Amino acid sequence: MQDRQYSSYRWTIQGILIFMQISLGLNFMAPTPLFTLIMDDYGINRGLVSLLISAPIIVLTISLLPSGILIAKIGSKRAMVIGGLLMSSGLIAPLLDSFTMMVLMRLLFGIGAAICLPVTSSILMEWFKPNELPILNGINESGRSVGVAIGLLSAVSIANVFGWDIVFFFFGVLPIIATVLWIVGGRSVDVVQEQSDEFSLSNNFDLIFNRNTFLIAIASIGPFALFIGYSSWLPTYYNEVHGMTIERSSSLVAILPFVAAIATPLSGIIVSKSGIRRPILIVIGLTLPVLAIGSFMMTSTILIAICIIGLGSIFALYIVTILTIPMELPGVDASKVGIITAGALTIGQGVSVLSPIFIGSFTDFTGSYIPALSVVAIMPLLMIISGLFLPETGKLATEL
């Protein structure tokens, strides 16, 4: 088992995984540059169009825990196939004729993403050495960020030529290709558990609802609310308030995931070498609000870009840290890490998922983006709680 687990084939596994992560990111924020076009086409307001982002995240949040149990029962290889197929739901977009059906299509994508995220953690723990995990977490998050950036940069251009619904079709092709690659080349070293009771939800309450999972969840609320809410609405904000074209505003916001893609592998190295986790969470919690406020209060495009670059860099450090901590908790193995990660993200994203709806609806109510963007900006301060009370899981834990 050990020879197979740490064989050179693990890099083939990682090659397929990174393709799947790019596919996830590409489809995740795909509707955001198209909000204006979709609102005009369907005659809907900001609150409703936000459902194209919030609805899949809501179902992702609800599905994470069942997905963790599913992975433990059927094995990571089969779970990834199911996740990849569901993430390719955009292929049916040209066949849909109502906004309701578009939301349902996005719900299917959310279920697929809910499977893909925790199963990726399980596969990494199956194949890779412990000291490689932070770096691999960074690389895979980089892949998701690359996908988001490509989506933000290309969606409007594709829509201008083919129509906005065809954007979803083109983006849905990539996860289906990634799924075929996984069917052909993916392998699993885990053993599917025959005892269904062992991996039932009730028998994993101690993993899902314990103190550490809750603290990881608290650390997830602010950064995810900020990333999702700002990626959703800053393109439209810059278009309406600063008078930028939608192409230019989308390109400006695309800097955030693009920088995160570059910074995440470096963040993986930093987290791996630092040997600490708690101080990193506290520093991130203090830094993100400052950069977030600057991203919408500044009037200079250059200063806005600097703030967005900062947000992308700090978010990269956050995501690597928060995905690594569950892998380092005592007594956690490949079968359990998916459940813990799913539990933490379910609780954390249960709040952050409302961010795009809150920004859109509160802006409709107040007539200004500033109040809603300000509330979301300060939410990362919650990370200080997690940084103070989580156990130190880094290699320097015994010295701190």
pLDDT of the residue at 191: 44
Percent of residues, the chain, with pLDDT higher than 90:
28
Residue 188 has pLDDT above 70, yes or no: no
Q: How many CB atoms lie within 10 A of CB 372?
A: 23
Q: Answer for the pair 137, 323: CB distance below 8 angstroms, yes or no.
A: yes
Q: Is residue 400 part of a domain?
A: no
Which residues form the domain of 40? 2-187+199-392
Q: Is residue 306 part of a domain?
A: yes
User: What is the mean pLDDT of the segment spanning 217-240?
Assistant: 89
Mean pLDDT of the chain: 83
Q: For the segment 84-110, what is each residue's pLDDT rounded down to a tens digit?
A: 999 999 999 889 888 999 999 999 999
Q: Answer for the pair 125, 327: CB distance below 8 angstroms, yes or no.
A: yes
Q: Residues 159, 168, 74, CA angle at the centre, nearest 5°?
A: 165
Please give the C-alpha separations between residue 7 and each of 11, 13, 114, 185, in angstroms, as whole numbers: 9, 11, 28, 15
Spell out the SS3 assignment of 19-63: HHHHHHHHHHCCCHHHHHHHHHHHCCCHHHHCHHHHHHHHHHHHH
Secondary structure of residue 330 in the 3-state scheme = coil
d(CA 193, CA 219): 31
User: What is the mean pLDDT of the segment spanning 313-319?
Assistant: 89
Tokens of 223: 């950064």
Chain centroid to CA 262: 16
Please give the C-alpha separations between residue 392 and each of 134, 217, 276, 341, in angstroms, as whole numbers: 15, 16, 7, 17
202 band by pLDDT with thresholds 50, 70 and 90: low
Q: Is residue 194 part of a domain?
A: no
User: What is the mean pLDDT of the segment spanning 150-172?
Assistant: 89
189 band by pLDDT with thresholds 50, 70 and 90: low
Which stretch, 142-156, 205-219, 280-294, has highest mean pLDDT? Answer: 280-294
Spell out the SS3 assignment of 169-213: HHHHHHHHHHHHHHHHHCCCCCCCCCCHHHHCCHHHHHHHCCHHH
Rounded to a whole number of angstroms, the distance between the first and last alpha carbons of the chain is 35
13 band by pLDDT with thresholds 50, 70 and 90: confident
Q: Is residue 221 part of a domain?
A: yes
User: What is the mean pLDDT of the segment spanning 324-328?
Assistant: 80
Q: Is residue 157 part of a domain?
A: yes
Residue 353 has pLDDT above 80, yes or no: no
User: What is the mean pLDDT of the segment spanning 199-218?
Assistant: 71
Task: Indicate the number of domains in the chain.
Answer: 1
Residue 337 has pLDDT above 70, yes or no: no
Q: Is residue 360 part of a domain?
A: yes
Q: Answer for the pair 151, 25: CB distance below 8 angstroms, yes or no.
A: yes
**Up-side HSE of residue 357: CA atoms within 13 Å toward CB?**
14
What is the residue-wise DSSP string for 48-108?
HHTHHHHHHHHHHHHHHHHHHHHHHHH-HHHHHHHHHHHHTGGGGGGG--SHHHHHHHHHH
Model's pTM, two decimal places? 0.70
User: What is the mean pLDDT of the segment spanning 311-319?
Assistant: 89
Residue 169 has pLDDT above 90, yes or no: yes
Q: Is residue 136 part of a domain?
A: yes
Q: Is residue 151 part of a domain?
A: yes
CATH code of the domain in which 327 resides: 1.20.1250.20
58 band by pLDDT with thresholds 50, 70 and 90: confident
